[in-house]
Structure 1
Amino acid sequence: MTDETQLSLLPAFNPTLIGFRAEEFLSLTQTLLAFPLEHPQAALDAAPFRLTRPEARPEIPLAPLPPRWYPRPAAEVIEAARAWLTAPPRPVIFEGRTQELMRVLRPLLAGHAVQVRGEPGVGKSALLANVANHERTRQRFRRIWWIDQPARLDQILALALNLPHVLADPDPVSRRARLAGQLDEHTLLIVDNLAPDDPLIEVLPTLTEHVLAAVEIAPALPDPDVPLPEDPEGVITLRGLDDNAAVDALARHAGIDDIRRIRPQLLHLVTLLGHHPYALMLAGALARRDKLSLDELEPLLQVETAPPVENSEDEAETEESPEAPVINASLNRALDVSLEALPRDYRRLFDAFGVFPPDGAPLDALHAVSPVGSLLASKRGLLMLEQYGFVRRDHRQPD
């Protein structure tokens, strides 16, 4: 017996889909059906042995740098700093220092640091100026830099060498080491006005071998019975001039041409002044400007002796000790006599220098602190002080 199953016919299904592309759908479906849903076993077995470079890891970001200030000075500032290093001209009167000049030039030109020592007014700056303008020095060095303000050594050198970023270094040792690398063998460094306890005295030879320094020491009266100590290597000590050089210097400062007949009188004046170069210059300027004869100048330079002491022990000591002329005379006597003869306004102008540092002062500042009157009066007063040897004009600012 056969079972027959009657199948019912489904109605026709013809959907109309707006915007649907049946052909495109069919082709995409057939394309996807060509890829199996499972990975082939051969591909899975070969995957662990595949040597492919992995993707590089991203670099670690750099930490932000601390902010730094790099100054950029203008070209005019650099030129002004180099112009400030100009050495002064050679002094017109330079008597009795030929031997000391040769003692400085020999080791200096050979590449050794030299130090010149002496009390105030003994002629250290004049000796340094002669060395700077000497023919042998000009032939040996291309650059001769003069620094008379040691406190500004780092600042001036950094600007002159166009290394302003060195000034941002707080360590002075590191700062000067970087400056030393720029100073070659053709550069001579001349440093004036150093104090005896200035740390730059030990630093300068490490900065460059070609350095000439002037150190000011306290004045001391030499003992005639004790020979003068010998200077160590590289050190030259300036002392008073000898008789012939001192007489010639006083005559030239006083404007005296013929000294043959008055040489004994000049020698007596030189002895009163202690053979001190600055005292000789002051006395000579006093005689030349005020038209004083030697007979008129001599009593002005005499130093009053102290009254006798009643103590018998002191009298015995005084009698035993010889009275040397240098003890009876004061090295400052010429300065005192010339200052006392100044007019009142010019004396006030001279006293105004005590407000400023030893480096000097500008004209406007001096006029502001001294009740002289007009600016022209202050300028005229400075000219008089310069002619008498009290002040010196800065050679870098002639106007």
Structure 2
Amino acid sequence: MRDPLSKKITEIQPSGIRKFFDIVSDMKDAISLGVGEPDFDTPWHIREEGIYSLEKGRTIYTSNSGLKELRKEVCNYLHRRFQLNYEYESEIMITVGGSEAIDVAFRAMLDPGDEVLIPQPSYVSYVPCALLANGTPVIINLLEKDEFRLTKQQILDHITDKTKLLVLPFPNNPTGSIMTYEDLKEIVDVIIEKDLYVISDEIYSELTYGREHVSIASFPGMRERTVVINGFSKSYAMTGWRLGYAAGPAKIIKQMLKIHQFAIMCAPTTSQYAAIEALKNGDSDVAMMRESYDERRRFLVKALREIGMDCFEPFGAFYVFPSIKKFGMTSDDFANKLLQDEKLAVVPGTAFGDGGEGFLRISYAYSIESLKIALGRLENFINKL
């Protein structure tokens, strides 16, 4: 029989994160510190608004770009929090999670042979989405000595005459690194000079600690060449609601919307009504969760250092990225042996690109009580090593 499968699809590797989730789900008494998901319930007033929308029978399609009121609230939020100004009618589209927005942005902007600069370690979807859009991923390996921040020289070292897009994945999953105003200012000139466009994934923008998030789209000359990706999963603990959005130049959003129109139609109606409530009245919920994450962050970094693991201090998202190089094991071997010996799951750094070798991603989207139990198992494992 003729092979029914696309060669492009079969050559793309599945997510390295999911493998550990699948093992843990079948392992009795296992603890996972691998989930990139808030451990909080969606705040009640947000859930209540979703329930109310169902009770009122609001179960039909919305416009392809999303509810008008939601797009207006997204504009209000982006202006209020990050000094970004967009037109709700033509520069905002609501998507099925931030992941769909990333996929659609690549497909709308890339032609075969166009190169995409992708800093790694970073979220697992960028490379596959670039490939599926017929782009050519060009990896920039971020360095621990730079606290995994992207530098101007790294961009210059990887640009060719085929480079079109730069992915800016900050605050970063898995490292927890951020880009400050000064960091971004350094790279803006080269982006404009080399005529690049930017996909700025800001899904963790509300989860920074002691330092305010800055969007590259707020710099002069960058709004017209940046698509900002954001959503509700991390900030409002709404992962299962599957809702995100893209903000960008009308010319780009128009073509992204075309793809979304044919592939998706519209984001879930119930989720959109809940998201309106989140943006209008959810600031205190975000602040509460951020304060809790910050407490766990400080606790975990200190505890890891005390048991002998080298770990730079992350200022964003809800992950730490400790080094295991001193133990003479690969990230995959360390994570597998830790799981088998101590029933503790963490994610090997290589799940986020080859630049993650020698590191682990550990999530602190768990209670401190759970973290203490997990750290006891980790310390026992390290002592045996």
- Flag whether TM exceeds 0.5 (same fold): no
- TM-score when normalising by structure 1: 0.32
Higher strand share: 2
TM-score (norm 2): 0.33
Q: Which has the higher contact order (CA 8 A, sep 6+)?
A: 2
The structure that has the greater radius of gyration is: 1
